[in-house]
Amino acid sequence: MIQAAYIHIPFCQHICHYCDFNKVFIERQPVEQYLQYLEKEIVNTIKKTPFEQMKTIFVGGGTPTALNMEQTEHLLDIINRRLRPFAPNCELTFEANPGDLPKEKLNLLLEGGVNRISFGVQTFRDELLQKIGRKHTREDAFVAIREAQEVGFTNINVDLIYALPTQTIEDVRETLDIAFTLGVQHFSAYSLIVEPKTVFYNLMNKGKLRLPGEDHEARMYEIVMDEMEKHGYKQYEISNFSKEGYESKHNLTYWNNEEYYGFGAGAHSYVNGERIQNVGPLKQYFTKIDEIGFPYLDVHKVTRQEKMEEELFLGLRKTAGVSKVEFRKKFGVEMSEIFAKQLLHNKEHELLQEMNTHICLTRKGKLLGNEVFQSFLVD
């Protein structure tokens, strides 16, 4: 049963130096046309695939809050008419930039059924915000979070990034100290990854990007984990920390290796055992929907072996780890029969620990997570 839907809004007021998601500058873009075609894709999917009760809808980007008031109202109307009947009590999240969200728009989101908001803050040092291409200031972030709380949002996430160019360990500590004063329910804290086709990637290739070394990055992550625990935020996934009961239901869908719908240009779905990628460019998105009703670029039927691998490398992101019982229920075999060599190797190197019912990463394993995940991909 598919219980989650992702909606991609590919418009931004500006492009951050590290972002490789499908996005375009919103100026002079056919936003209204995009929303109309987004609705067509949703309607066609509902006709094709029997929808049941969903527990989460996530609106990401791009920058969903880059839409103006009328466009935001149109998007909310689509969600409430087309998806809400299948998700009356769902977690409905909007990603937001601190500089894009006046109180008027916050009220519109709340009245439109949004009950979780995720702010892309990244850091509370203005000079670092400038270096990574963000247009908001730390004061903008303070104001946006405070106003979201004032209008009635009680489930707020703040995204943070560490290992930024020239960032020091002291910078990370300062950002965390400020973050803990905000009274939010959830933090996502990621290390910077330099992706192809980004400003940072081009700078790195020219030798103009000075990043903290691996040892400093590992130390920053350890500080994040320790400080989050000290301030009452439970780490439930490698990069995610929450107060009790405020874990992201939507992201847990991914880490639990469950299926989900993905709508919009460049979105990805996992439906009926198939991983589907939508086309990214807007004109191609419109044309595909006109021609065949769906904007598919690629459809991959996931093999049984791939599903088992995904169960491990996605599930191990969770601090709870992967359930042996659930693995056996899903695949009819013991985890140890399929991955005996990998399990032994990672346990010998103190990257995994095995309990009676689960396997999970050790603290050392969290620092070397990518190595562990890669080990479960069978050539």
pLDDT tens-digit series, residues 287-318: 999 999 999 999 999 999 999 999 999 999 99
Assign 148 to helix, strand or coil: helix
Question: How high is the mean pLDDT of the chain?
Answer: 94
- Identify the band that residue 284 occupies on the pLDDT scale cut at 50, 70 and 90: very high
- Identify the band that residue 224 occupies on the pLDDT scale cut at 50, 70 and 90: very high
Q: Which of 265, 263, 267, 239 is nearest to 252 (CA)?
A: 239
Percent of the chain scored above 90 by pLDDT? 85
- Identify the band that residue 13 occupies on the pLDDT scale cut at 50, 70 and 90: confident
- Strand locations in the chain (E): 4-9, 11-12, 24-25, 56-61, 91-96, 116-122, 156-162, 186-191, 234-237, 240-242, 261-263, 268-271, 274-278, 296-301, 322-323, 352-354, 358-361
- Identify the band that residue 379 occupies on the pLDDT scale cut at 50, 70 and 90: low
Assign 308 to helix, strand or coil: helix
Chain centroid, CA 93 distance in Å: 11
Residue 301, C-beta contacts closer than 8 angstroms, at least 6 positions apart: 273, 274
Q: Are residues 5 and 263 in contact, defined by beta-carbon separation less than 8 angstroms?
A: yes
Strand 268-271 with 274-278, pairing? antiparallel
- Overall fold of domain 4-255: TIM Barrel (3.20.20)
Q: Distance (Å, rounded) from C-alpha 297 to C-alpha 268?
A: 10
Q: Is pLDDT above 70 for 233?
A: yes
Q: Distance (Å, rounded) from C-alpha 379 to C-alpha 374?
A: 10
Q: Are residues 296 and 267 in contact, defined by beta-carbon separation less than 8 angstroms?
A: no
Cα–Cα distances in angstroms (integers) from residue 342 to residues 71, 138, 310, 359, 376, in the given order: 50, 44, 14, 12, 6
Per-domain residue ranges of the chain: 4-255, 304-375
- CATH 3.30.70.100 at 304-375, yes or no: no
Q: What is this structure's pTM?
A: 0.95
pLDDT tens-digit series, residues 74-115: 999 999 999 999 999 999 999 999 988 999 999 999 999 999
pLDDT tens-digit series, residues 247-272: 999 999 999 999 999 999 999 999 99
Dihedral Cα 360, 362, 368, 371, nearest 10 deg: -40
Q: Which of 263, 252, 315, 314 is nearest to 285 (CA)?
A: 263
pLDDT tens-digit series, residues 139-161: 999 999 999 999 999 999 999 99
Q: Distance (Å, rounded) from C-alpha 9 to C-alpha 46?
A: 20
pLDDT at 20: 62
Q: Which of 228, 224, 262 is nearest to 243 (CA)?
A: 228
CB-side exposure of 8: number of CA atoms within 13 Å? 24
Compute the average pLDDT of residues 338-353: 96
Q: Which of 251, 278, 298, 299 is nearest to 34 (CA)?
A: 278
Q: Is pLDDT above 70 for 72?
A: yes
